[in-house]
């Protein structure tokens, strides 16, 4: 007896069309087989699946990081800061040279001491700062205190390339978080924080982040998200003018006191 052959007619059954409603020769669930009604076609591993109708496509700075679960803790990166320093604008180097030429060795010593203290403060911050997020809260530990806010109070999360001022052409990927009243509760920049960590936090905080590909300035960011930038940052020249006036007033007051008190 030959398997697959009708003994009465000698017909090769393996070459006959399938019975109506039954799958063909391909095994069900294998490539080329019939798909279950209403089920998507098999997805190629590593390729994006079909987008749900009416849902927005994922938007990200680069590529959208995967959603993270559980507690998240990130720390600043010393490598990021070293890279930031290598892009220091030439105007600051010129200022150091100018102070040296005007004040001589004393000016150079003051500049070195101030620079060393600043760098020491930054590296101390790098060693102790961290951002920790759990299911309910976000905590930011700084140099002297820890600030905590509830994730439920977040109103907006913004991730954007950001240029602080026209005099400093360096651009940082910056994460801003605002509460429901429009007050800024978090700001982290890629001068000290790894961009991948900033992206991960942006997508894990809760609100769908607003992501910009264009570089924003303090003025543009304030127009789109009021409360995200301080007055000093929006008006750097006005703030510098106030400082200059304060110094002049202090010098004049010191001179008046000297004339009055010294016989």
Which residues constitute the domain of residue 98? 73-235
Q: Are 246 and 240 within 8 A, CB to CB?
A: no
Instruction: Give the predicted TM-score (pTM) of the model.
Output: 0.61
The three-class DSSP label of residue 152 is helix
Q: What is the largest CA-CA distance in the chain?
A: 137
Asked whether residue 133 is assigned to any structural domain, the reply reads: yes
Tens of each residue's pLDDT in the chain, 263 residues: 555 556 666 666 555 555 544 544 444 344 444 444 444 444 443 444 444 433 343 444 444 444 454 589 999 988 888 777 776 655 566 666 766 676 667 767 777 777 777 777 788 888 889 999 999 999 999 888 899 999 999 999 999 999 877 667 788 999 999 999 999 999 999 989 999 999 999 999 989 999 999 999 988 999 999 988 888 887 777 777 888 788 788 877 777 777 666 66
- Non-local CB neighbours of 76 within 8 Å, separated by 6+ positions: 125, 126, 129, 130, 192, 193
Asked whether residue 4 is assigned to any structural domain, the reply reads: no
Count of the separate structural domains present in the chain: 1
Closest to 122 measured CA to CA, from 168, 73, 163, 82: 82
Asked whether residue 65 is assigned to any structural domain, the reply reads: no
Asked whether residue 90 is assigned to any structural domain, the reply reads: yes
Asked whether residue 198 is assigned to any structural domain, the reply reads: yes
Taking residue 140's Cβ as centre, other Cβ atoms within 10 Å add up to 19
- Non-local CB neighbours of 122 within 8 Å, separated by 6+ positions: 81, 192
Report CA-CA distances (Å) from 208 to 86, 131, 155, 231.
34, 19, 10, 27
The three-class DSSP label of residue 154 is strand
Asked whether residue 23 is assigned to any structural domain, the reply reads: no
Taking residue 194's Cβ as centre, other Cβ atoms within 10 Å add up to 17
Asked whether residue 34 is assigned to any structural domain, the reply reads: no
Q: How far apart are CA 86 and CA 164, in angstroms?
A: 17
Asked whether residue 98 is assigned to any structural domain, the reply reads: yes
């Amino acid at each position: 007896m030959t398997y697959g052959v009708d003994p009465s007619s000698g017909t090769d059954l393996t070459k006959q069309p399938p019975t109506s409603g039954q799958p063909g020769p391909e095994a069900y669930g294998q490539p080329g087989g019939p798909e279950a009604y209403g089920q998507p076609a098999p997805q190629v591993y590593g390729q994006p699946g079909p987008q749900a109708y009416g849902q927005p496509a994922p938007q990200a700075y680069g590529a959208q990081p995967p959603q993270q679960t559980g507690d998240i803790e990130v720390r600043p990166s010393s490598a990021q800061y070293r890279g930031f320093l290598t892009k220091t604008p030439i105007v600051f180097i010129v200022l150091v040279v100018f102070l040296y030429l005007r004040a001589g060795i004393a000016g150079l010593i003051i500049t070195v001491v101030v620079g060393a203290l600043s760098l020491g403060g930054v590296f101390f911050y790098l060693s102790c700062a961290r951002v920790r997020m759990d299911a309910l809260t976000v905590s930011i530990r700084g140099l002297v205190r820890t600030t905590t806010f509830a994730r439920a109070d977040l109103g907006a999360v913004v991730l954007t390339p950001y240029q602080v001022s026209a005099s400093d052409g360096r651009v940082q990927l910056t994460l801003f978080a605002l509460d429901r009243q429009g007050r800024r509760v978090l700001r982290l920049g890629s001068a000290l924080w790894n961009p991948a960590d900033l992206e991960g936090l942006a997508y894990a905080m809760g609100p769908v982040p607003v992501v910009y590909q264009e570089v924003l300035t303090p003025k543009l960011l304030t127009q789109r998200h009021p409360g995200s930038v301080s007055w000093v940052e929006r008006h750097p020249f006005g703030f510098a003018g106030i400082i200059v006036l304060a110094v002049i007033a202090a010098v004049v007051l010191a001179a008046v006191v000297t004339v009055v008190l010294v016989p």
